[in-house]
């Protein structure tokens, strides 16, 4: 999904609704921040791993993606 796709999808909802992200193991958390990161597909990921992994800024592989960071993500 791209930012454009997300915006189009969000237009169908009440703009006053809070936005939340998946919690660490259970429940849901509010969004702390949005940021751009260099990511790549996490091949052979376990079911508890994310579909993508963040790469270092100096790595030439991967692609830019917008990260919606919740409480869980701030510790990565």
Cα-flanking dihedrals φ and ψ of residue 72, to 5°?
A: -60, -45
pLDDT in tens, 1-60: 899 999 999 999 999 998 888 777 788 889 989 999 999 998 888 887 888 999 987 788
DSSP-derived 3-state class of residue 33: strand
What's residue 38's pLDDT?
A: 93
Q: How many domains does the chain have?
A: 1
Rounded to two decimals, the pTM is 0.73
Asked whether the beta carbons of 38 and 54 are under 8 A apart, the reply is yes
The whole domain housing 17 covers 3-75
- Would you call 1 exposed, middle or buried from its count of C-beta atoms within 10 A (0-12, 13-18, 19+)? exposed
């Amino acid at each position: 999904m791209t930012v454009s796709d997300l915006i189009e999808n969000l237009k169908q909802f009440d703009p006053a609704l809070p936005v939340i992200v998946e919690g660490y193991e259970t429940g849901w958390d509010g969004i702390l921040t949005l940021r751009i990161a260099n990511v790549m597909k996490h091949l052979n990921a376990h079911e508890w791993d994310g579909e993508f992994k963040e790469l270092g800024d100096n790595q030439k592989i991967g692609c830019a993606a917008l990260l919606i960071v919740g409480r869980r993500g701030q510790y990565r």
